[in-house]
Structure 1
Amino acid sequence: RDAVEQLRFVSRGGADPDQDKGVDGVALEAALARVEAFETFSTGHRPLLRIEDLQKRLAPGQQLILLAAGEPGSVAAVVSPNSIRMIDLADARTLGAAAGSVRAGLSRQDPMGQKALARRMQTLANLLAEAFDSSDQDTQILVLSDSMLEAIPVEILAGWDPAGPGVRRSIARWGIAAGGDWFAKLAGAAAREHPLVLIYDATGGPVGGARAGLPNAALEVADIAGLANAPPALKLEGVSAAAWLADARPRRVGVIHVAAHAVNHPLISSQSVLALAGDDPAAEVSLGTLRPAALGADLAVLSGCSTGISAQGDYRQGFAEAFIGAGAERVMATLWPVDDAASAAFMTEFYRFLWDPEVSTPEDALAQTKRLFATSGQWRDPYWWAGYQLWRGSLGAELSGQLAQQR
């Protein structure tokens, strides 16, 4: 809030001239655009919803687990059709330290350290055990967290058994899964400017370096476009893809898929970029150039490395947050660097489930893809599949506040 007020003060010409030297007008404009998008999103984008109202959406035998992590402590609400149970979790410092330890282990492939990683995961799972003691039911897990919980795959904390008979679990972050027939919604996307936009780095080349070629990106895009039930696709690469993303004209599309390097700036998030043709600066799109409502999409999928977090390690000011601010209803992104070949395989299966008429939401499609990978030989370790997460921007602040009041 202080930063917002400072930006407003400077933009209205109220700053002291001696203190205003060196202000970057372009950066200020980009920052103000982000503030404007956040305020519009926070106050006018969604209706208020009480926790009690959620009970009406649950069928007998279903439950919803709300996780809110922050200062000074953390809380879980286990919501069923007939009850709301509040559980105090660990204090913020303990939870944050445990989450950081788990994320550090999962964010690298470490076959020799899998036992140590399993112990760290169990430590954090023990902190949340009471919240999940009845999670053998159909469960939707909603994360309303600060950086403590956003940086780790919640299904691991839930003791998620991918082979569990008859158990359905889906994960959503910062919002409620909309439910309904997602496939029908997507099939009706003909009214949108483009039902499917595939953006990728086609430079290929050897693996290695911060912006190594992505030999599987073009294959990933081709496989997605060739799936059964896939809608007509607009394919863009390199400079043309960068121009399309940076266009400030408001658009409404079905799905935006980006297969390219994501490079987080260590200090200034607005200068983090999507690199759409290796090192070519003309094919870069910075987060500061994304405009509110310019990329209105039902779903944006960012399959590059660490697209779900910023350089500081949490969701705020990262690529997922930027695409939500630009109008995406949902964003699927990654919590750590992902392997090029594994990502191509994962995305193909995700879209196969997404366009299955029997799958109702992207949350369900992601859960089914993870179950498939977690039971396969080549990609079984959590490193390969646990980093893919879904974010939504609705109802997070309201529900988080209500959880705090009900404690």
Structure 2
Amino acid sequence: MPHQRAHVVVIGGGYAGTLAANRLRRQPDLEITLVNPRPEFVERIRLHQLVADTGTATVGYDSLLGDGTRLLVDTATRIDTGARTVHLASGAALPYDYLVYAVGSTAAVGSAVPGVAEFAYPLAELEEARRLHEAIARSAADAPVTVVGAGLTGLETATELAERGRTVRLICGGVLAPALSAPGRRSVATRLRRLGVEILRTAVVTEVRADAVVLDDGTVLPSAVTIWTVGFGVPDLARVSGLSTDALGRLHTDETLTSVDDDRVIAAGDAAAPSGRPLRMSCQAAIPLGAQAADTVSSRLTGRTPAPIDQAFVGSCVSLGRGGAVVQLAHRDDTPVNAFLGGRIAAAVKETICNATLWQIRREMKKPGSSIWLKGGRKTATAEATARP
């Protein structure tokens, strides 16, 4: 009787899923299928460049996936854990022995602000970035562009467009660049002023119209294009499949990234909530999580006890146009320190880091099991949480 190869299905071809698929190849005699809705890999950290015409944001999977890994361009609509089958939008059903759940994140949905769904442009998916690019191209060169949200995505989009000569307004609704230290935030504010970006720090948008935004004090500001970068969500695949999730929809797992409901389902990336304490949504977290998810699958296939996740952060980076950036340093548990790198040197570092994400995936493709990452952050955070009264 012929030997039956174990089949691992990876749902999601982003940073975590692609890395996981490549790393799984070090397990011999394994069938691997990567399910992704697009035939190209999306560099989400470059979507703001696509919008502003300063770069592209897609890469062919032929340069990222190792030999023997099957790319299936389709969308998972439901996971039947009882039958170990993934149901696809095409109508097909894909059986699995183990499943890596790496569906990633998307723009926050269900905003209570009137007009957001109809008139604002989110920026978390390739298709959204392309629609926004077209809207910017259709608008007059001096038409006002409003960016709502002053997190990293909002800052990168606002500065990229301003550097290209667009008239940009940034509505914070609170703290500017909340992920950064106070010195880092001051550096960001200086760069925004130099680029001519109007900053409304305390204003809150209460309505979005086709040609304007309305603020909480009743002010109506003209806006030819309104970009909505407030928060992120995750696809609801786990929830509709009857799996346990957190309030945002991330899959509940233990510290080995194994679903609390089914030990054949392993999560990675933005859609994972290990022990109810998810890591920051970022490719910095997604790539090690993809590697650790693959290691958990390999351990279960070989009868070994999976190791708990162990990774740390080094900081965060924000592009401020092609000519500037802030590289914020942090403790291993991701809390920022009062040290950062700014200016053109930081822009060069940020570009190197962006390139390094693909380099890591390609390195794993060429030599499965080669990925390494900084460790200790999870243990630090756990120890601090335990010590609190």
Alignment TM-score, normalising by the size of structure 2: 0.25
- Decide which structure has greater strand share: 2
- Decide which structure has greater helix share: 1
Alignment TM-score, normalising by the size of structure 1: 0.24
